[in-house]
Amino acid sequence: MLNQKELDYLWLDSFMIPLKKKAKIIEACGGISFVKEKFKKNSDLFAKILDKETILKMESSLDESYIEKLVDLLNKYYISVVTIESEAYPKLLKEIADPPLVLYARGDVNLMNQKCLAMVGTRRATSYGREVTNAFAKKLSKAGAVLVSGLAFGIDTCVAESVVNIHGKTIAVLGGGLDSIYPSQNDELSRRIVRDGGLLLSEYPVGVRPTQYSFLERNRIISGLSLGTIVVEAGERSGAISTANDAIDQNRELFVIPGNITSFESLGCNNLIYSYPEAFCSSVNQILDRFGFSSEETVKKANIQFSIEAQKILDVLNEEMNIDELAQLTNLAPKILMSELSKLEIGGIIKKTSGNYYAKITLQN
């Protein structure tokens, strides 16, 4: 059951009033509890801040049935409400310049006050980005960190998937209401997140569709919830760059994974490192050490006997290589080469990337 304060917040939040104006109204009325009352008595104060249309809408929504409908909607989608005045509201998020007044959540709200780390990146992830994300996310999650991401395509999805695959806990902050997951392809993933004890979070009420701007606004929550933000792979104009800037504005730690200087999807990352050299991050241990996470896991080095052919392949495979190049360098017949590559791939020694490229797996999951 929601208490009166929460209901009041819910009421005010339902009119799509910009955050700053909402804060102004609450201040002018002397607290959320008095807003409705003041509005009933005298809407002049509101006329100065809000436009006519919103005021008309508010006037027609004063009866109890309006609130009941709002609550019904929340129940329908299993959404709980965390207001800025409640216990469960994340302490770190409260510290930022413009914290959302209300958070809509599905899942375990206690996660928000645990040690959170944001992990973001491009929507067009390369195999390198996916590999790094997978390795970092699994390690961080196992060490006890709650990873926060935006459930977008690419790196964000990879973060959530990596954590869910080991049944860890993760927070996904959405850019629209929790009634519909965007992108819809991640609908199933969002359910898996909640099933495994994770959390879906949004500052937007039910029914609000995500927009270009809402994604940017959402980014401040991702970084604001977290002790630090890890940027895995980001193009020059990626949204992840804005999250990184939010993190800096909020005085949070920033970790940027460098990328190939020829890769378009790492341009933004490399630029960030140029601007903030201390953000350079090349190992997950850097992050673990910085926040006092313990990584009790020791990497098991597999002791495998390779065939002569496999050894030949591993000897030349120092960078990502096309199967044709491998054939030339190893002088192996295509059929032998392919069969050996498959065996190495199954053994987890190498991986197949797109377009018939192969690479050694260097990061241990």
State the Cα–Cα distance between residues 261 and 192, nearest whole angstrom. Answer: 36
What is the closest distance, in whole angstroms, from the C-beta atom of residue 363 to another protein in the complex? 16
* 55, 345, 360, 361: which one binds another protein (CB under 8 A): 345
Segment (H or E) for 129: helix 127-142
* 161, 179, 233, 340: which one binds another protein (CB under 8 A): 340
What is the closest distance, in whole angstroms, from the C-beta atom of residue 153 to another protein in the complex? 4
Q: Would you count residue 334 as binding another protein (CB under 8 A)?
A: yes
Classify residue 120 by its DSSP letter.
E
What is the closest distance, in whole angstroms, from the C-beta atom of residue 289 to another protein in the complex? 32
* 110, 113, 353, 365: which one binds another protein (CB under 8 A): 353
* 22, 106, 123, 252: which one binds another protein (CB under 8 A): 123
Complex with another protein: residue 217 or 345, whichever CB lies closer: 345
Nearest 10 degrees: CA dihedral of 201, 62, 22, 99? -20
State the Cα–Cα distance between residues 352 and 160, nearest whole angstrom. Answer: 22
**Count of residues interacting with another protein (CB under 8 A):** 34
Contact 148, 176 (CB under 8 A): no
Complex with another protein: residue 55 or 314, whichever CB lies closer: 314
Contact 232, 132 (CB under 8 A): yes
Supply 292's token pair: 């006092």
Which residues, 134 to 163, sit near another protein by CB under 8 A? 153-154
Which residues, 59 to 78, sit near another protein by CB under 8 A? none
Q: Would you count residue 338 as binding another protein (CB under 8 A)?
A: yes
Q: At what angle do helices 4-13 and 64-76 cross, to 10 degrees?
A: 90
Q: Would you count residue 2 as binding another protein (CB under 8 A)?
A: no
- DSSP letters of 297-337? --PPPP--PPPHHHHHHHHH-SS-EEHHHHHHHH---HHHH
Complex with another protein: residue 290 or 360, whichever CB lies closer: 360
Beta bridge partners of 50: none
Binding site for another protein (CB under 8 A): 123-124, 153-154, 183, 185, 264, 320, 322-325, 327-328, 334-343, 345-348, 352-357
